[in-house]
Structure 1
């Protein structure tokens, strides 16, 4: 079994929390750090929420670094309607005991990546890309030193979920997304075209509820909250599971279909702010971006169930 060194950059967020539980339970991943950013809820809450999830998972060995509380150039956004005012759905927040890592997120990303062999550290970005953009500004060599950057963000054929043409993570800080996509690093983009195919159906949630661990029970609670909100706000019967797809791709890339492409982000027009322009007419040999066009939803949930069950034994 090969081990992938990984930094998770996130804005928990109920689906971020599910992604963290999956990553904490996966022996294939060497988690170097979790970094947090303002996004779904303000930055102070995302840092606390990541530490809460870490404590529930029993992974206090993984440092959590707080990061950017606002986008590069714009006012902070938020998505509390889909995550609850505290960001953790129905979970009653508490003050976690684990400490916060030394230094801000951008510095931690630079230090962790640049101190290891070139191409050996992957980054999974589940929120606005502000921290990674700031890290790239601090260290110009970072883009060339990174391993794969797996992001949850963007929309093409599915349309947007915050505007008709934009997905929330990209829309929240399009300027940061433009920095990352334009940096030359390898990016695998798991946008709504793929994540809408990964649905938290009743039987899939029930399979997680059947696992006897606090991490599994909390994961199921997050999914129940998302299911309820999705029915009330959007009218769909089952909620899409966005952020865990990044971790699933790192463990089982065969669960996704991707195509080489070039991705650019609209930053100047408020009408189409955050639109991801995905161009497939590229040379596959030199393309630095890949766009996910399909996902095996049952396979992703089987992976989550398997990892949580194994961690509970």
Structure 2
């Protein structure tokens, strides 16, 4: 069992492609993260699993299948996960992502079927078969990851790292204290952060710096292929919610693609190793990621917490990824 996170440099020391499993709840930014991952040969996407979160489980599964159909990557196995959090009732973010979960672009219908396995069963199958340790990349609630860890403790040593989008060292975006993904299933997040597996946490502190501006959307629109046009459509819809003055954004934060960008170019990010605990009981702060930046608890670091990013490099990486298609 790993007791401390690897350095960012160590996470990308592989000579061969890094095997990853993407666990997502598409969602505009999940879809863009999936597109980025499959565009870059440094990553080998072993499977895609889906969770409920941004929309209901039937819609997030369908959206993953639609994106992979658009990309012509129907060989990637896809499995649906838990229909609701471990304990709580499901909360969705349809006010952000629309009725379908991917409102905006005209996406194809799914061109293939999911495999007849649950998300955690597919994870276990792929991790067992992999010659290298596998990196898990959850960009939604952590229900599927927690279920996998509980069901297959013998495979924990074959998970190299969990690179997740969730949490914050500062304020939340769904409640004053909690970020959406962690708030949806705080009990699952607690299991993940207690697992002993190396974690990279892409929380709101970094994702709010990874904003896409109107000029960036125009840059994506100018890339002449169907995938880039889809991403431009996704971004134009996604910007609408984030124009609310209460957020103070100049553009729209691309939360989930930060996970893929860190795997590809960790040097564009800055962060710290520290202990992160999950609040699972408080009425006021349920789902809060309690980030011990100053070592006040004396507990060992269990996560590499990202706090900032070179925004221009991030946008450049997205544009380069879209030119592949």
Is TM-score (shorter-chain normalized) higher than 0.5? yes
Aligned partners of 2:19, 2:304: CA distance in 1, in Å? 20
Gapped runs of 5+ residues in structure 1?
none
Aligned partners of 2:278, 2:131: CA distance in 1, in Å? 30
Aligned partners of 2:294, 2:197: CA distance in 1, in Å? 19
How far apart are 1:281 and its partner, in Å?
4.4
Aligned partners of 2:53, 2:107: CA distance in 1, in Å? 18
**Secondary structure of residue in 2 paired with 1:72:** coil
TM-score using structure 1 length:
0.94
Aligned partners of 1:301, 1:249: CA distance in 2, in Å? 13
1:215-226 aligned within 5 A:
215-226=227-238
Determine whether 1:167 maps to 2:179. Answer: yes
Residue 263 (structure 1) aligns with: 276
**Secondary structure of residue in 2 paired with 1:147:** strand
Which of 152, 156, 166 is the aligned partner of 1:153? 166
Q: 1:109-159: CA deviations, max 9, x gaps?
A: 1221133246x21111100000010001111123332011100000122x1
**Secondary structure of residue in 2 paired with 1:293:** strand
Aligned partners of 2:36, 2:114: CA distance in 1, in Å? 21
Which of 236, 253, 277 is the aligned partner of 2:266? 253
Residue 3 (structure 2) aligns with: none
Which of 10, 19, 26 is the aligned partner of 2:40? 26
Residue 66 (structure 2) aligns with: 52
Distance 1:139 1:90, change over 3 A: same
User: How many aligned residue pairs are there?
Assistant: 308
Do the aligned residues in 2 keep the contact of 1:144 with 1:184 (CA within 8 Å)?
no
**Secondary structure of residue in 1 paired with 2:140:** coil
Do the aligned residues in 2 keep the contact of 1:261 with 1:287 (CA within 8 Å)?
yes
Aligned partners of 1:18, 1:181: CA distance in 2, in Å? 25
1:125-144 aligned within 5 A:
125-144=138-157
How far apart are 1:89 and its partner, in Å?
2.1
Q: 1:248-293: CA deviations, max 9, x gaps?
A: 1111111111211111100011211100001134599x63311001
Gapped runs of 5+ residues in structure 2?
1-14
Residue 128 (structure 2) aligns with: 114
Determine whether 1:188 maps to 2:200. Answer: yes
Q: 1:180-213: CA deviations, max 9, x gaps?
A: 0001011000000000001110111111111111
**More deviation in 57-66 or 93-102?**
93-102
**Secondary structure of residue in 2 paired with 1:35:** strand
**Secondary structure of residue in 2 paired with 1:274:** coil
**Secondary structure of residue in 1 paired with 2:160:** coil
Distance 1:304 1:74, change over 3 A: same
Do the aligned residues in 1 keep the contact of 2:167 with 2:178 (CA within 8 Å)?
yes
Determine whether 1:90 maps to 2:115. Answer: no
**Secondary structure of residue in 2 paired with 1:148:** strand
Which of 231, 238, 241 is the aligned partner of 2:251? 238
Do the aligned residues in 2 keep the contact of 1:135 with 1:142 (CA within 8 Å)?
no
Determine whether 1:203 maps to 2:215. Answer: yes
Residue 321 (structure 2) aligns with: 307
